[in-house]
Copies of this chain bind each other. A is one copy, B any other.
């Protein structure tokens, strides 16, 4: 493509330009936007192929994993990230939570007419940086434009594929009574960061989203004790409480948590109190929950703590036999309460 005549009337005016309906119509304006903004930033072999899809090799002897996630976070930019980096981390993590090594991403953009090209460029470049840092290239994509008032800035749906060896069997239905429940670090930062930005709240310390790609942490955990990790999940929407309830239901088990063991940053705790939120239900974008065989929990935990994204990893509870599949928690005050699913909306458009 690089040798072909481009024939655009003028370069994109990134500084002052805005998305118009023509950028989504599939003609010359769309081609120019894709080349000068998206392909320039993502710079992958797949995109340079310039076809309707990307073609690539995958290593033999593996099963394939595919995960997709729409990102509609509001506001688009928040402390610690933006919709671009989030859309990479969210999908890389969904693939990694199947025990897989993420290989490639596809990205579908739905952009509102009038959206400033400068902001789009910032988002796309953040996305490109997150993809490069994770080592997971964006190989194919699509861009649509909707009229002003029919969207909200930018929505990004990313789809990831990865490979998992046949020897790895990780899934939400694999937890067994007696298993250890591990958490990779403090909870609640992402949700509080987005909400405080949305509501223009100023806390003394800026709370940053924990948004991060967790696949190398997962790889370290799986290597530490092959076969030991049975369930992996990232507690995003609905928070830790909802994620643990999902696992309990899928596996047909209960759980008993230790409230005192669940780490929450003091500033997140304070912000949650102010906002009337329970950190257990607040979204995270750079944390994971693992259920693992009890005899290997110490080894897995040690591997987590040795990884930059697992420094505060802890054992937070145990899987129990429970025909009701309740997630229960011993409170700091010695009581015991049921930790239910999130009901209704606590934090809309958090990811």
| Interfacial residues, chain A to chain B (CB-CB below 8 A) | 1, 3-5, 7, 20-22, 24-31, 46, 49-58, 60, 63-72, 74, 93-95, 97-98, 100, 104, 106-110, 139-147, 149-152, 155, 157, 159-162, 164, 171-173, 233-234, 236-238, 242, 246, 249-250, 252, 281, 283, 324-325, 341-349
Listed A/B pairs (12) with beta-carbon separation below 8 Å: A1-B250, A21-B345, A22-B344, A25-B347, A25-B348, A27-B341, A27-B345, A28-B342, A52-B97, A52-B98, A53-B160, A108-B159
Say how far A72's CB is from chain B's closest CB, in angstroms. Answer: 5
Whether A30 lies near B107 (C-beta < 8 A) is no
Tell whether, in the assembled complex, residue B72 and residue A27 are in contact, meaning their CB atoms are under 8 Å apart.
no
Q: Is there contact, CB below 8 Å, between B55 and A58?
A: no
Known: A65-B53, A348-B145. A238 touches B26 (CB 8 A): yes
- Bound Cα distance A139, B65 (Å): 10
Selected contact of A150 from candidates B3, B71, B151, CB within 8 Å: B151
The list of the 10 closest CB pairs from A to B, nearest first, reads A26-B237, A27-B342, A53-B67, A26-B238, A157-B157, A159-B159, A68-B106, A108-B157, A150-B152, A52-B94
Highest count of chain B CB atoms <10 Å: which of A3, A26, A28, A238: A26
Distance in angstroms from A232 CB to nearest chain B CB is 8
**Chain B residues, Cβ within 8 Å of A98:** 51-53, 55
- In the complex, A324 Cα to B7 Cα: how many Å? 10
Q: Are B110 and A72 in contact (CB under 8 A)?
A: yes
Instruction: List B contacts of A349 (CB < 8 A).
Output: 24, 144, 146-147
User: Which residues of chain B have C-beta atoms less than 8 A from A100's C-beta?
Assistant: 53, 55
* Chain B contacts for A68, CB-based, 8 A: 106-108, 140-142, 157, 159
Q: When the two chains form the complex, which single residue of B4, B21, B53 contacts A94, counting CB atoms closer than 8 Å? A: B53
- How distant is A319 from chain B, measured CB to nearest CB, in Å? 14
Q: Using CB atoms, name the residue of chain B closest to A233.
A: B52
Q: How far is the CB of A344 from chain B (nearest CB, A)?
A: 4
Q: Is A66 within 8 A of B54, CB to CB? A: yes
Q: Report chain B residues within 8 Å CB of A107.
A: 68
